[in-house]
Structure 1
């Protein structure tokens, strides 16, 4: 049981009992102290072969901007709903952290022309298909059909992922049924969750990866439902999101360690975190004890 030697302490992966779990950099953060959606961190990840995630919001002109919130106020110096802004409206707006320009989808396409072959970038689409529409899908096709990097497009909206599949069949696809499954569990129990998850795995999105909240995975496992094994048996990968150490310097608290150990025992393909190198270091320290 040893850490990967490649790019040690780069926050790329953990190896455990013969299984490799990638550590995905959440919102382009290698560390929580990094600025949100950092082009510099993304470039570092592309060079190292990291798995990374960013959020995309649709603009009024059908293009996209790398932001999480529906409106500009929270993350930027701008104001108002992003869906009402065209590319020309965003040029003078800056990220609140570090006074950096916004990353537009056009910028992304240019940055992704040359990357490490192992690099994987998740486009987490924060709007539904109704908001993005055929024009947004056309924009993705125009800008990301020829990129060298591996991209996986994910969304809660199944209609959107089906539309991506039809227009860009070569891109990997992911779905996140977490909210829906939580609601089903509360209303009808774990058997109903299992049936719904199976239906999603076999459904028209034909997903490569299933994104599931790590607490949902552990809650289900305690009741005898191994959601990760269920997905992997169907040939799907599982990303457990978002496990971030409260104190990255100190490593795992005892409670965090119990949860993370239980999660790793279920062998997820990927864990989303805001503290990738610290998680890798903390795991190594605990396993050496």
Structure 2
């Protein structure tokens, strides 16, 4: 019997499996409405990315350029809403698929028309910093998200940008990702890791979820610092990202994350990971 990849129970603790870029399995294209709605119907955790376009709104895309993930070319920031909606998404091998690029308001309209399971959570991962959030951008976000905010969490690496968008959107939960490029080279000692997580928690006092590179969590663990435990002690939850494929190495990593009682694991292959763990390969 097929089991939907929503969570893993390990030693009395439940860890959600987050569908990274709305993928249920590794072969899925990114950001298709079918998978997003499936996740929300099942009560899963699912993530999409937000990138600004030319008309003060957000596109559901990861990259700031169109060339890789869509049939378009150039910068998302230079492309109008209508032009974006005419573009098709690409499969993992680069082949165009039948699904078109969505804007944030398109996604929110879908969710309004298809009510979510009470446990479902859609993460909006904002790829922009606060300098890009004009009053028009903020207003566009608020209008789109407010009707469905209770099923969403807004995250990003700029805690001020997340706060600016969320403070006018009642019911919207927030998260914070303090992982910056080069962090694994910058943090080496137990003291470094302890200082890092303390600073992250101070910088985003309203964030209910802290998003951490899973390699960062495991590196800290190896020097005796439990980053997940520190976040739990502050009353927050931890998402460890991103398990991109299922292999003996990644299964060992996941098992250690489960033993550390991580609350959520971001993965490009929730179905494959859940099957491997259920089969006792972890």
Fold match by TM threshold 0.5: yes
Let me know the Cα RMSD of the aligned residues: 2.0
Change (3 A) 1:10 1:146: same
1:183-194 mapped onto 2 (5 Å cutoff):
186=186, 189-194=189-194
Change (3 A) 1:267 1:49: same
CA shift for structure 1 position 152: 0.5
1:1-289 mapped onto 2 (5 Å cutoff):
9-97=3-91, 98-113=97-112, 114-147=115-148, 150-179=151-180, 182=183, 186=186, 189-246=189-246, 252-253=247-248, 255-286=249-280
Aligned residues: 275
Summarize deviations over 1:94-128 as a string: whole Å, max 9, x none.
11231421111111111112111111000001111
Summarize deviations over 1:169-211 as a string: whole Å, max 9, x none.
521111111126816x626744133223212213355211000
Over 6 Å off, 4+ runs: none
TM-score (norm 1): 0.89
Change (3 A) 1:204 1:260: closer
CA shift for structure 1 position 140: 1.4
Q: Equivalents in 1 of 2:259, 2:187: separation in Å?
A: 28
CA shift for structure 1 position 274: 1.1
TM-score (norm 2): 0.91
CA shift for structure 1 position 148: 6.5
Change (3 A) 1:188 1:24: closer
Q: Equivalents in 2 of 1:8, 1:22: separation in Å?
A: 18
Gaps of 5+ in 1: 1-6, 247-251
Q: Equivalents in 2 of 1:263, 1:42: separation in Å?
A: 25
CA shift for structure 1 position 231: 0.4
